[in-house]
Amino acid sequence: MLKDIIDAAYGRKKADIVLKNGKVIDVLGHGIIEGNVGIKDGVIIGIGNYEGMEEIDVKGAFIAPGLVDSHVHIESAMVTPAEYARAVMPKGVTSVIADPHEIVNVCGEDGLKFMIENGNTVPLDIHYMLPSCVPATPFDHSGATIDGDMTRELISKYSLKGLGEMMNYPGVVYCDEDVLKKLEGSKYTDGHAPMIEGMGLNAYICGGIYNDHECDSAENALEKISKGMNIFIREGTGAKNLEELIKIVEPYNLRHFAFCTDDKHLSEILKEGTISHCIDKAVSLNMDPIDAYTIAGYNPCLFYGLHRTGAVAPGYKADILVTKDISCTDISLVFKNGRLVAKEGEPLFKTSAADISNVTDTVNIRAVRSEELEKEFNSNEPVIEIGSSLVTNGVYCQSREGLSLCANIERYGKTGNKGLCFVKGLDIKNGAIAQTIGHDSHNISVIGSDGENMAAAVNALGKKGGIAVVENKRVTAYMELAVGGLMSNKDACTVVNEHENIVACAKKISPEGSNMALMILGFISLLVIPHIKLGDKGLFDVDAFKYI
């Protein structure tokens, strides 16, 4: 095979495929080269006057390296890895670095194995990191536990890239014994350090943390770069940092940036793409297009040791996209390992039914009674105030008027805990929304006007879990997420339609805040994002890292 590649590169043999008359985006030399690109045995043989067994005239379109999502939780799209690949590959993504900490918090090693095996059935390269926080904090009650000893074992067993985002900042800087064991068992560890600075950041980085995707200010990102971290510019559904961070990208620090989505809804992926959308937005904000492609593909390949990947150059993997515009919004062809996998926005590969037998029926609670979800209002207790981001504050209110009731319910049959609080900013009327998506332990989160509607929503989730909407004590929408209560085993179009119905029904009980209600349910229990959150034992002060 190597001889054939060399012979084809020299011109002694025909290439398998030649993309003719293109404008090659050269991320190595920072320019655009007009010419023909030859491919042999899944490898780029070069740009030159090549002849091929198959020749495709791209008619002056741009030929670019395949895109890489440097940090993503596939579960957030609510489809299996195989179906996710069908959604993102037509948008130019050929590799992702995935942290499956949602499904692993629910199902442990079975969840990790499911993600790997299902992902192996499609062309997309899914490079998995081992979740570092299962559970996310010592205060969480999830479906599984992965300790320091298991960390080293699982990274080796499944040949993983390293350790996923280390969210337990206190565990790192205060040298928790098990956290240190996890860090020492990983050759590469992703970061999660919102608002961390100064000596605390120094200590965190010394734990062997290489990057961060939680920067929401230019100043914080610049400090992290100067201290040796790489910055993943995030543009997902709930968190969008590109506009703020893109203004600090300069030629001298370009090598420290990549794009990521972290969490992005499927409907948005199908509409605008993931990393291609980052390129388009960055270029619209006056970023040099070649720089945008560099951080969209080449840089993350360097960060994660994806050798000979991320550029259109001799000897590099033939992961290529063809786009009619340099902003990457009109992708016509996508090649993976030299194979055409998508054309004019449609995938050219199919998926088979996923075996979910080891990752389903994960809700293990008895029917909930309405009185268990009622709470008397107390003006001396803080209320969670939500805004336009995942950061939530604690405020004090003088009355219950305009407040919604919220609960976090342990769903694995371990403790039976139910944390309750009031939430300001949604004002749900005569109804409730419940779901088994609740980062990162993924217990049941429910928000509503009263205990009776909330109990009806929780009980509608069944053993498989998903999302339920109740209006006037009647279930108006239910979306089954049979895979760990997080993902559907249905096709992408069906999942989008079902979710749109959920949103429409949620809008009837929360006209102004239906989308925010669904988002806040997913993150109100994430005990590592400031400032006040709700765990299954009640209100949690993230800054003090303890229950109130």
pLDDT by position in tens, the chain (length 548): 899 999 999 999 999 999 999 999 999 999 999 999 999 999 999 999 999 999 999 999 999 999 999 999 999 999 999 999 999 999 999 999 999 999 999 999 999 999 999 999 999 999 999 999 999 888 889 999 999 999 999 999 999 999 999 988 989 999 999 999 999 999 999 999 988 999 999 999 999 999 999 998 999 999 999 999 999 999 998 889 999 999 999 999 999 999 999 999 999 999 999 999 999 999 999 999 999 999 999 999 999 999 999 999 999 999 999 999 999 999 999 999 999 999 999 999 999 888 999 999 999 999 999 999 999 999 999 999 987 677 888 999 999 999 999 999 999 999 999 999 999 988 899 999 999 999 889 999 999 999 999 999 999 999 999 999 999 999 999 999 999 999 999 999 999 999 999 999 999 998 876 777 787 888 899 888 889 999 999 999 988 889 98
Q: Is residue 208 part of a domain?
A: yes
Classify strands 339-343 and 331-336 as parallel, antiparallel or unpaired. antiparallel
Which range of residues forms the domain containing residue 99?
66-307
For residues 80 and 188, state if they share a domain. yes
CA torsion, points 200, 205, 209, 211, in degrees to nearest 10? 90
135 preceded by cis ω (within 30°)? yes
99, 190 Cβ separation under 8 angstroms: yes
Encoded tokens for 298: 């080449």
Count of domains observed in the chain: 2
Are residues 189 and 271 part of one domain? yes
In a domain, 23, yes or no: no
Q: What is the pLDDT of residue 519?
A: 79
For residue 216, the model assigns a pLDDT of 83
In a domain, 1, yes or no: no
Instruction: Tell me, yes or no, whether 56 lies in a domain.
Output: no
Is residue 501 one of the residues assigned to a domain? yes
Is residue 13 packed enough to be buried (19+ CB in 10 Å), middle (13-18) or exposed (0-12)?
Answer: middle
- The Cα 198–Cα 196 span in angstroms is 7
Query: Which residue, chain included where needed, has tokens 């049979």?
Result: 482
The answer to whether residue 139 sits within a structural domain is yes
Same domain, 388 and 478: yes
Residues 414 and 489 in one domain: yes
The continuous run of DSSP H or E covering 104 comes out as helix 101-107
- Are 170 and 296 part of one and the same domain? yes
Same domain, 394 and 256: no
In this structure, the answer to whether residues 179 and 73 fall within a common structural domain is yes
Does residue 329 lie within any of the structural domains?
Answer: no
User: What distance in Å separates the CA atoms of residue 460 and residue 468, rounded to the nearest whole number?
Assistant: 6
295 domain residue, yes or no? yes
- How many Cβ atoms are within 10 Å of 25's Cβ, its own excluded? 25
We report the CATH number of the domain holding residue 269 as 3.20.20.140
Domain boundary among 268, 286, 307: 307
Residues 385, 273 share a domain: no
Q: Which runs of consecutive H residues, i.e. helices, occur in 124-241?
A: 148-157, 169-173, 177-184, 198-205, 218-226
- Say what the pTM is: 0.94
- Are 153 and 302 in the same domain? yes
According to the model, what pLDDT value does residue 530 have?
86
Provide CB contacts within 8 A for 14, sequence distance 6+. Answer: 8, 50, 51, 52, 53
